[in-house]
Chains A and B, each alone.
Chain A
């Protein structure tokens, strides 16, 4: 789950937008920053938080979408 994205720190590099497998993050042209556009679709991979060079993003592994288990 994407808990927060610090807009003050974000420089708009778009790494998080590019790496997100579920198109949760988008780039806001007016602000020049990444924004959380589709939070419900976040599946908790953590890639955005991991690769953000300034650690603007706080993410956890939980998610709104159900995760079907093998048993």
Chain B
């Protein structure tokens, strides 16, 4: 088996918004540092970023306190105020930095950044946006101009360790199937979270970085809250913001349902609307519809700087343009007829635990950025990481800049990695083990679907209960024990699918085990068998860490008791 080894100063796994931003910034700080970005797709077009709507939350520096208070208040006592303040405090300068690089943000006739009032998180909260695919293409151009090396169509599977120090990674070329070994002084995980292949748009990210970090010994935090559900049109997967859509969602009898479960609430995340929809269906009152017949377009639209957001997105070719996509795919106009809706499950397990410099809290030489760490930061508290939307993109570039500044300081002093040949051999063998010839066997997608059947349905991941969670865990373990070793892998393409399936199973196991562990109900984690909130025992985050062959669970208290008092009101 042919193998190529790459030696670099900084290995960045993932060439999306976070990866490319980190690469450009490192080179800006220390031009002499060598940077290699690796992606399983084609850098500039790959990953989640080009398929998003491009909207970014924006908080000016004098609005940080108000922002933090209002998020913590909705976090049911589990919001990470330290990370919230850190993230919000960096938004203005990070956004300005990328704007200064020429990233195509919304701008006015004088060329100044446009950020319009949003008021969701207080009077100083704003929203801005950029054209997503043009952003990643622009960042790719900047990266190349600064001497960053790019490697496409390469799947990274495992991290190489020297004790508790990460010294690189192993993977393979998706086209040729050849082994790739990377040696680096610093490794950055920027390859997204696990989206569980739940939505048609975000299936590329299956948590390979998260599960590699788990296998290497990195702690994972807050996994039970990785269960993001987005209410969408069943046929086309198009959607509106949950706080707007909630007014239009009704059951089979035409009864509006949201206020029945959350009376008087207007600003809860997408999980709450998904919960109401799931509960109605489980009570036999489905199907569930979005019915906006007769409503004016303005009633469920948003404007930024006086311009209809959807018109702006459509004009600039942003992929996630609901009315256009809906018309093209679904072929119907929501103002004229009702449409069946369902909670779609993109999940968002980005649970790697990092400090405020985005360094792994356990492993030297490892940083995590963007979606790989977003749910582990627990900023939203007791709900999934992007329940409110518009945080994911800015979180990617803010954390990328933080990690890059830290790496630029430490890497020049970091000795070159020494890699143990036996460890490399072990990881290579693990990577290619599924290619042992099998005459019969499962397809990788068979394993994916078997896991999805006990993760995606609401009765496992939203309206939870102990016996169903144990059933889910049993099924996942069967997949890991019996299906994955018998998956038929006949090409490098199949090998990617295999490692995605393996990662999906690992991430699903973390999600389900953490949900079993938290024996209470809080925010979007609802247990029919433990319906009450238990602050006495559970004002804590759950932690998962590998212990031998086992997934060990523990807790850590949520710091900042004053915030707990705010959340209790």
Contacts and interface: CB of A to CB of B under 8 A. Distances in A.
B203 A44 contact: no
A71 B41 contact: no
B278 interface: yes
B449 A61 contact: no
Contact of B45 (A19, A66, A67, A70): A19
Interface string B48-86: 001100000000000000000000000000000000000
17 contacts: A18-B46, A18-B152, A19-B42, A21-B46, A23-B496, A41-B445, A43-B203, A50-B319, A51-B319, A68-B449, A68-B457, A69-B456, A70-B278, A70-B462, A71-B277, A71-B281, A71-B286
A38 B174 CA distance: 13
Interface string B336-352: 00000011110000000
Interface in B312-336: 319, 325, 329
A20 B41 contact: yes
A71 B229 CA distance: 12
A45 B246 CA distance: 25
Interface of B: 41-46, 50-51, 133, 152, 174-175, 197-198, 200-204, 229, 234-237, 274, 277-278, 281-282, 286, 319, 325, 329, 342-345, 445, 449, 452-453, 456-459, 462, 493, 496-497
Interface in A1-51: 14-15, 17-23, 26, 37-38, 41, 43-47, 50-51
Contact of A44 (B200, B343, B344, B445): B200
Given A61-B200, A70-B274, A70-B278, A18 B51 contact: no
A38 B282 contact: no
Given A15-B42, A18-B42, A46-B325, 15 more contacts: A14-B42, A18-B45, A22-B203, A26-B175, A37-B493, A43-B200, A45-B200, A47-B51, A61-B237, A68-B198, A70-B274, A70-B456, A70-B458, A71-B281, A71-B343
A22 B274 CA distance: 27
A44 to B, nearest CB: 5
A50 B343 CA distance: 24
Contacts of B459: 71
A42 B325 CA distance: 18
Nearest to B459: A71
Contacts of A17: 42
A70 B345 contact: yes
A6 B507 CA distance: 39
Interface residues of A, number: 29
B278 A71 contact: yes
A45 B342 contact: no
A65 interface: yes
A19 B445 contact: no
B319 A47 contact: yes
Contacts of A23: 174, 493, 496
Contact of B50 (A22, A51, A70): A51
> Interface residues of A: mostly helix, strand, loop or mixed?
loop
A71 B457 contact: yes
A47 B457 CA distance: 26
> Interface residues of B: mostly helix, strand, loop or mixed?
loop
B201 A45 contact: yes
Contact of B41 (A21, A45, A51, A63): A21
B156 to A, nearest CB: 15
A17 B42 CA distance: 7
Contact of B497 (A19, A26, A41, A43): A41
A20 B459 CA distance: 31
Contacts of B43: 18
Interface centre among B201, B274, B278 (most CB of A within 10 A): B201
A68 B203 contact: no
Contacts of B286: 71
B51 to A, nearest CB: 6
Contacts of A61: 200, 235-237, 329
B380 to A, nearest CB: 20
Contacts of B458: 70-71
Given A38-B493, A68-B456, A68-B457, A19 B50 contact: yes
A58 B198 CA distance: 23
Contacts of B133: 51
Contact of A65 (B46, B329, B445): B445
A69 B342 contact: yes
A44 B282 CA distance: 28
Contacts of B281: 71
Nearest to A27: B175
B327 to A, nearest CB: 13
Contact of A71 (B235, B342, B449): B342
Nearest to A20: B41
Contacts of A71: 277-278, 281-282, 286, 342-343, 457-459
B472 to A, nearest CB: 13
Nearest to B460: A70
B42 A69 contact: no
A70 B523 CA distance: 19
